[in-house]
Structure 1
Amino acid sequence: MTSKDVQKVVPFEGSKLSKKEQMASMFNDIAGRYDFMNHFMSLGIDVWWRKVALRKLKPLAPKTLLDVATGTGDVAIMAQKMLHPDQITGIDISEGMLEIGREKVAKAGFSDKITLQTGDSETISFPDATFDAITAAFGVRNFENLEKGLGEMCRVLKPGGMAVILEFSNPTAFPVKQLYNFYFRYITPAIGKLVARNKAAYSYLPSSVKEMPQGQEMCDILKKVGFQDVTCKTLTFGICSVYCATR
């Protein structure tokens, strides 16, 4: 697995659109059912994963936070509740996801603290060293160019700041590996077709996870683009990984 392998995985094989354009189209289509699918398919464990990741930032007590690939804003809202920063900015290429996120932010009473805006992870529209902390949950494998996106995250992070990346990974221990692969290969696309009415999106998910660099390889890429003190912690038998890195 390399960063180039995951870049080749796209939702719509044969499409002339770039991966970035395909991702925006896919997420716009499933935006209304995205949150339900996340919680349903993970049996709610995804909420705990996000909490574990955000706890990594507590000692830092960041005042400004950027949430990359923010989607419907789950991490941004949870970060405001747990870390109480002065300002959180969430960026995503899917306006459909952001619209739902803004409604959730307003409902939570955080409109003065959280701003969600259209943004490309590979050309982040902020100056160097802008944020105390950066989060990205289940989004970096969707980057069209993984190294470029991670490099941009490093660029806008202040020296001494921390990035926390939460991403799916492939378990290796028996029988979790076998059960996980069966679920992802057969059950996930079927649920996606039935509930989200988009089989392509939930066929893309296992393919992208399979090709995503993880563990030491992902740590090496983070170091390559400029991060330091990189660590990786696996969660739930290796189904998910939390990467922490400082600038």
Structure 2
Amino acid sequence: MKHNHDTVTPYNSDTTKKNQVEEMFDNIAPKYDLLNHVLSMKIDVTWRNTLVKWLKGDQPKKILDVATGTGDLALAVQKGTKAKVVGYDLSQQMLNVGIEKVKKAGLSSEIQMIKGDAENMPFQDEEFDAITAAFGVRNFENLESGLSEMLRVVKKGGNVFILEFSKVEGFLGPFYMFYFKNILPAIGKLVSKDNRAYTYLPDSVNAFPYGEQMKTILSNVGFSKVEYKKLTFGIATIYKATR
């Protein structure tokens, strides 16, 4: 079953979404962290901490962080759980920034960074106690195949925690959409020189399923139980899917 969320790509070129996403993140990697904190007013830090708190209840020993990017969630997860963490991402330039962060934190023995495709992972079935992903599943070329891979590599009874942008509902919705579609891309252009990257962000969020629709997709992929928490007026949502 194909959803419309397969069609939004960073660049209007003929290459696959996967290639375009890799190219885009390679391009913006040096400025990515700065932009993230500016644009979310550091709320993204709080969101990650909420995910870590939820995850800690499981006491996982080995965790996979999919679409780890520059490693912010991998670091937060490791510090919160003291588990061994594998950070996995498509973009080598993003990983390079992450590897430096991990070194600085003195956690190179605890956090391993690996380049690869989330829809075709080199891990064993049921290899991980838990899986996390922040702001990454939106970039999958095929959402269902990426989620199926997460299901495959997490242990029976283990949980997958996905933090992703959702849509602000209620009276704040129009204001947030204005910010998201007009102001955010303008700031993005100033800082990163990659215009398309920050128009891709609101476009990809708009096209992406959230709330009950995302819950249904996770259930259809084969997770036995799915729950979610809305964060900050619904700007983001954490989904917890149990294998």
TM-score computed with the length of structure 2 as normaliser? 0.98
| Contact 1:54 1:164 (C-alpha < 8 Å) held by counterparts | no
For 1:241, the aligned partner's letter is: T
Match of 1:141 in 2: 138
In 2, distance between residues paired with 1:123 and 1:59?
29
| Contact 1:169 1:240 (C-alpha < 8 Å) held by counterparts | yes
Post-superposition offset of 1:4? 2.2
Q: Relative to 1, partners in 2 of residues 1:212 and 1:196: Cα closer, same or farther, differing over 3 Å?
A: same
Q: State the SS of the aligned residue for 1:57.
A: helix
Match of 2:41 in 1: 43
**Taking every aligned residue pair, what percent have the same amino acid on both sides?**
51
Match of 1:215 in 2: 211
After superposition, residues 22-171 of structure 1 pair within 5 angstroms as 22-85=20-83, 87-171=84-168
In 2, distance between residues paired with 1:230 and 1:173?
24
| Contact 1:3 1:212 (C-alpha < 8 Å) held by counterparts | no
In the comparison of the two structures, how many residue pairs are matched? 243
In 2, distance between residues paired with 1:239 and 1:3?
25
Q: Relative to 1, partners in 2 of residues 1:3 and 1:71: Cα closer, same or farther, differing over 3 Å?
A: farther
Post-superposition offset of 1:3? 6.0
| Contact 1:3 1:213 (C-alpha < 8 Å) held by counterparts | no
In 2, distance between residues paired with 1:148 and 1:9?
17
Q: Relative to 1, partners in 2 of residues 1:240 and 1:3: Cα closer, same or farther, differing over 3 Å?
A: farther
Q: Over aligned residues, Cα RMSD in angstroms?
A: 0.9
Post-superposition offset of 1:231? 0.4
Say yes or no: does 1:204 pair with 2:200.
yes
In 1, distance between residues paired with 2:163 and 2:2?
16
Q: State the SS of the aligned residue for 2:3.
A: helix
In 2, distance between residues paired with 1:197 and 1:11?
14
For 1:83, the aligned partner's letter is: T
Q: Relative to 1, partners in 2 of residues 1:188 and 1:225: Cα closer, same or farther, differing over 3 Å?
A: same
Q: Deviations over 1:86-137 (max 9, x none)?
A: x110110000000010000000010000001101110011011000000000
In 2, distance between residues paired with 1:63 and 1:122?
23
Post-superposition offset of 1:54? 1.3
Match of 1:186 in 2: 182
Post-superposition offset of 1:139? 0.4
Gaps of 5+ in 2: none
For 2:25, the aligned partner's letter is: F
Say yes or no: does 1:11 pair with 2:10.
yes
For 2:129, the aligned partner's letter is: D
Question: Which 4+ runs in 1 deviate beyond 4 A?
Answer: none
Alignment partner for residue 231 of structure 2, among 222, 229, 235?
235
Gaps of 5+ in 1: none
